[in-house]
Structure 1
């Protein structure tokens, strides 16, 4: 293998392995909430906060990610982010509630640094493979979110690792990603450059705000639903293992949406119609959850999984297609993941509080329907053929 091919291989493999680790530390928590709650005596609100906390750190520290990328170089900054993520995953299982919260916050900081900078990294280093690599990035995130959700309970129960060992298991993949990413540390610093145009101020752009709120709605729906779905199914009579399995199946179907959506979207002049179709399917699928029949639940969750995978890819494609300059892409990525995740952070926590007060699982469905309508509204404008 020539030096250029070897370099390209390690870059692609590194992007895939980094992507694998961007959801596992969060998706693995939802099925284990009943175990964590019982062991540590958490309320439903604090249990929901376990998913909200990394979102708050996403939102806060994403604003610093472009500056970290400029200072260290994009490749070194991504390596630093995965190091923080691995440290947080280990720290949160070593003690009681304080270490759980501190470690969880640290995982969020690590994730957001890598997540914000992967998109401009792909655009800079692999511009001719933008659609394919965006698809692989979103697909790997969705795939391992599904795997982690599905095997978290078996790891804890069947392998007798407990919730601590189950959560710590995912550090293995983070170490693997760090090893494969090492060649990127020896390369010259990858800087973000413009195209001869003035870098835009994304904070004053209407389009940037629509893309941001669109991604926020998508994130609210994903993190709230994946956090509380297992508990809702257990309330309806499913076992913890069954609830974790169907959550995994839902996210596995998301792979189809996340993989095929970027290729379809990039070939379109504008993406508004595709976004509308996804939104309408969301509305149908969430409404079906009111019917407490097993096959209807399976059908609705399969549709929701497809839409969640597609909507994540749509958000990432918007960040790339709605900007012209690399630096603007990084700044829009940071803005999207800052404001968007501040919006998303409220979801799991607020629903947990509503469950403490009202003990009504139908509120979860109403919550999803409301944000689906916002998803459609902001997605229609974000999909127009415009540049920030």
Structure 2
């Protein structure tokens, strides 16, 4: 037994910086399929005839895939296997990007979003297990690096997609260039994938889930709405500023700026909250920061636009990390907490995916994005009211019901 443990430790040590590269490569692949759309959406709509609601499907459907796969993970995960899942996910993302280089219709573009979203969903659901095994004593640091790389990949794609499109004079190239990232991810996974230790098949038993828990549903709804601004910003912020006269590159840089502050939040919030088990104060502060950004977009979109976007980015980045931490706090057992987190992300991502569809419908109905920003601001205010219910003293009682 001691020899086996020593071998595993030696394997983890050998992983080292190569393992970190794999984590970064996986994370970077998970958001370009979403964020590259917004800066080019004006060109895409002119070429394909998609309306705002149809264009919202390019964001909604991949996020719905993320939610549905997370819900199905307790049943699908053991059958799929980690290594096959990662390879399949990267292949799906790469195939979708390659398809985008060739397509010229709105329906084909929507279908490619479903394919890419499925790949993202698989990797996003499985990667915590990779981190847990590769870096058992540095899980928070590795998760922080993963979160930062995920957000950085999304921001880079928003900034670079219009540059690539302008260079090649085709919007398809701005969407499909991320095939290269998927190929790099496949190469690194093949070189340094984690070792799966064969174990005896466990006895067949019922899968634990939280569909009957009122607190789990509250946490899931909270997660979905508190993070709903992200998908709406990715889908509509560049389009909004294009309509205000900005260039594709200028509007894409706003998503890049938002991403920078998301990364800052993802890296700093874990340090700020580590001494307090009560997350409500920090959640309220970060929600208020997010609210200030939305109020700025509503009242003065052309004045201090960078400040409003930075506030929204920091608020969204911190709320994502805090809401997941809040979920894990509810149960002391790591396995049960992980299953609760999977449920919360599953339902939450479905809600988060619906939000840009609703905001796109409001844009179509009113002829302006102002109503969309008002809806997001009202949602933040509602979540401020819900936040006060999450007292640490009530976790046990709430989960026992």
Q: 2:127 corresponds to which residue? A: 118
**Corresponding residue number in structure 1 for 2:157:** 148
- Give how far 1:40 is off: 0.8
Q: Separation in 2 of the partners of 1:332 and 1:200? A: 9
Give the one of 172, 176, 187 matched to 2:180: 172
Instruction: Give the number of equivalent residue pairs.
Output: 382
Q: CA deviation at 1:148?
A: 0.9
So what's the TM-score if we normalise by structure 2? 0.86
Q: Using the alignment, how far apart are the partners of 1:328 and 1:102 within structure 2?
A: 35
Corresponding residue SS for 2:138:
helix
Which is higher, the Rg of structure 1 or of structure 2?
A: 2
Deviation for aligned residue 1:318: 3.5
In the alignment, the residues of structure 2 paired with residue 265 and residue 202 of structure 1 have an alpha-carbon distance, to the nearest angstrom, of: 27
**From 315, 320, 323, the counterpart of 2:323:** 315
Quick check: 1:68–1:77 contact (8 Å CA) kept in 2? no
- Taking the TM superposition and a 5 Å limit, the aligned residue runs for 1:188-337 are 188-189=196-197, 201-292=209-300, 294-337=302-345
Contact 2:291 2:312 in 1 (8 A): no
Contact 1:211 1:378 in 2 (8 A): no
Unpaired runs of at least 5, structure 1: none
1:18 corresponds to which of 13, 26, 45: 26
Distance 1:18 1:377, change over 3 A: farther
Query: How far off its partner does 1:69 sit?
Result: 2.8
- RMSD over equivalenced CA pairs, Å: 2.7
Is 1:56 the counterpart of 2:64? The answer is: yes
Instruction: Identify which of 60, 64, 86 aligns with 1:78.
Output: 86
Residues 324-360 of structure 1: per-residue CA shift (max 9 Å, x gap): 4454344334322321122122222222222222102
Contiguous gaps of at least 5 residues in structure 2: 1-9
Change (3 A) 1:190 1:282: farther
Cα deviation 1:99-146 (Å, max 9, x = unaligned): 212211011111111112223443454343232122112111111211
1:75 CA displacement: 4.2
Q: 1:369 to 1:190 in 2, by over 3 A?
A: farther
User: Does 2:45 correspond to 1:47?
Assistant: no
- The alpha-carbon distance between structure 1 residues 205 and 78, as it changes in their structure 2 partners (threshold 3 A), is farther
TM-score (norm 1): 0.89
1:31 to 36, 39, 59: 39
Contact kept, 8 Å, 1:92 with 1:101, in 2: the verdict is no
Per-residue CA distance 1:162-212 (angstroms, 9 max, x = gap): 221111111211111122122565712588x99xxx985322334322331
Cα distance change, pair 71–185 in 1 and its aligned pair in 2 (3 A): farther
Aligned mates of 2:82, 2:375 — CA distance in 1: 37
Distance in 1, Cα, partners of 2:115 & 2:24 = 22
Aligned match of 1:345? 353
Which of 92, 106, 113 is residue 97 of structure 1 equivalent to? 106
1:168/1:337 CA distance change after superposition, 3 Å: same
Alpha-carbon distance change, 34 to 128 in structure 1, aligned in 2, over 3 angstroms: same
- The alpha-carbon deviation at position 234 of structure 1 amounts to 2.0
Q: CA deviation at 1:258?
A: 1.2
